[in-house]
Structure 1
Amino acid sequence: MTPPTLKTERLILRAPRLEDFEAWAAYFASDRSVPEGGPFDRAEAWRRWAADVALWSLRGYGAFGCDDKATGAYVGEVGLDEPEGFPEPELGWFVVPPAEGHGFAAEAARAVIDWTAETFDWPRLVTITDPGNARSIALARRLGGIEDASLPGVCPGDAVFRYDLRGIRAA
């Protein structure tokens, strides 16, 4: 599947590009990646990035590279992930340091939630995060996610937030 291009007020969400990997490598080399099991060396960052990109062909969904409409700058990645061992597709995000604090992740995540509701007949979408990742938890809540301890995470103690897609389709 070729990823669609989604547009928001300030962003263009598009297919991943090879040049996006540099931001991935930097992210996963930093302590910011600790909630995701990092830091990782460049080779492991490549394996994870390549697996994310491959989801588009294998499952028909994946992560979008996000560019600022005004400047064309890459601001991060938002999309769906479901590596082996995940209980269901997950909405995830990261932004590059210069793009933090501008609401880009929330804006892109809302677009991905809407696209998912329109494209797939799924009852929900989840975000799975480390319970100590306060920024991701705050964003999941801001997006309307409801913490649901009955849903499985990936690691013991994961915080799992659900988004009801049926309500979005009905709107």
Structure 2
Amino acid sequence: MIPPLKPGAVLLQASGPQIETERLILRPWRASDIAPNAEMLSDPGTARFIAADGKPVTTAIAGWRNAAVISGHWALYGFGMFVVEEKASGKYAGRVGPWCPPGWPAFEVGWGIAPEFRGRGYAVEAARASIDWSFDSFEIDEIMHCIESANAPSQAVARSLGARRDREIDLFGKPADAWITTRAAWRQN
């Protein structure tokens, strides 16, 4: 349990941009996002593709660690995956955004939407906003999306974004496909 603060004590405040789309808010992480993120990753079909080890999160500490890694990217690098919040309900709907930890093959924008929010176009809507933000913020000519060949729904999102499958890559011992969104093609859409 986190103890109460003394009067006048100052802690690091979570900060970062907030992006609004028609139905979503992409925002910095909060402690209240840990539990719904862990719940999303407790789903074997979700964990298979976006958990570091491909296994479902089954403990509170594993859920906390995952959220700490994802949200910590902001503290370490000044950017990272946003929480995707559904405007209508205020609920955590997933995560989306730039991701480039050490050893990663390239600057990526990735996405993960909680099972209860799938099938509504949220992954595409959130990824579009995140790609716009990334091209506006970084001097990059392309963005990669690392997608396992068995992840047909994520491939469909990539296609909807106008990305093209470029090549197969090794993602820490697992094969994945590198889908590419170029700045030039993105600006034409």
Same fold flag (TM > 0.5)? yes
* One-letter code aligned to 2:179: F
Distance between the aligned counterparts of 1:72 and 1:78, measured in 2? 16
Q: Secondary structure at the match of 1:72?
A: coil
Which of 12, 15, 20 is equivalent to 2:28? 15
Which position in structure 1 is the counterpart of 2:57? Answer: 40
- Give the TM-score normalised by structure 1: 0.89
Distance between the aligned counterparts of 2:170 and 2:19, measured in 1? 28
1:33-64 Cα offsets, whole Å, 9 max, x none, are 11231223333332222111111121121111
Q: Is this contact kept in 2: 1:124–1:163, CA < 8 A?
A: yes
Q: Within 5 A, what are the aligned runs for 1:89-128? A: 89-128=107-146
Which of 79, 95, 99 is equivalent to 1:61? 79
Per the alignment, do residues 169 and 2 of structure 1 end up closer, same or farther by CA in structure 2, a change over 3 Å counting?
farther
Q: Is this contact kept in 2: 1:117–1:169, CA < 8 A?
A: no
* One-letter code aligned to 1:39: P
Distance between the aligned counterparts of 2:146 and 2:63, measured in 1? 19
CA shift, 1:153, in A, is: 4.2
Distance between the aligned counterparts of 1:170 and 1:140, measured in 2? 16
* One-letter code aligned to 2:23: R
Q: For the pair shown, which has the larger CA radius of gyration, 1 or 2?
A: 2
Structure 1 portions without partners, runs of 5+: none
Structure 2 portions without partners, runs of 5+: 1-13
Which position in structure 2 is the counterpart of 1:24? Answer: 37
Per the alignment, do residues 168 and 136 of structure 1 end up closer, same or farther by CA in structure 2, a change over 3 Å counting?
closer
Distance between the aligned counterparts of 1:34 and 1:68, measured in 2? 24
- Give the TM-score normalised by structure 2: 0.81
Per the alignment, do residues 112 and 38 of structure 1 end up closer, same or farther by CA in structure 2, a change over 3 Å counting?
same
Q: Is this contact kept in 1: 2:57–2:63, CA < 8 A?
A: yes
Identity score, percent: 34
Q: Is this contact kept in 2: 1:147–1:162, CA < 8 A?
A: yes
Q: Secondary structure at the match of 1:66?
A: strand
Q: Secondary structure at the match of 1:2?
A: coil
Distance between the aligned counterparts of 1:62 and 1:84, measured in 2? 13
1:76-126 Cα offsets, whole Å, 9 max, x none, are 111112233211222111122221111111101000000001000011111
Distance between the aligned counterparts of 2:125 and 2:19, measured in 1? 11
Q: Secondary structure at the match of 1:47?
A: helix
Q: Secondary structure at the match of 1:41?
A: coil
Per the alignment, do residues 118 and 169 of structure 1 end up closer, same or farther by CA in structure 2, a change over 3 Å counting?
farther
Higher relative contact order (CA 8 A, sep 6+): 1
Q: Is this contact kept in 2: 1:15–1:64, CA < 8 A?
A: yes
Distance between the aligned counterparts of 2:138 and 2:109, measured in 1? 14
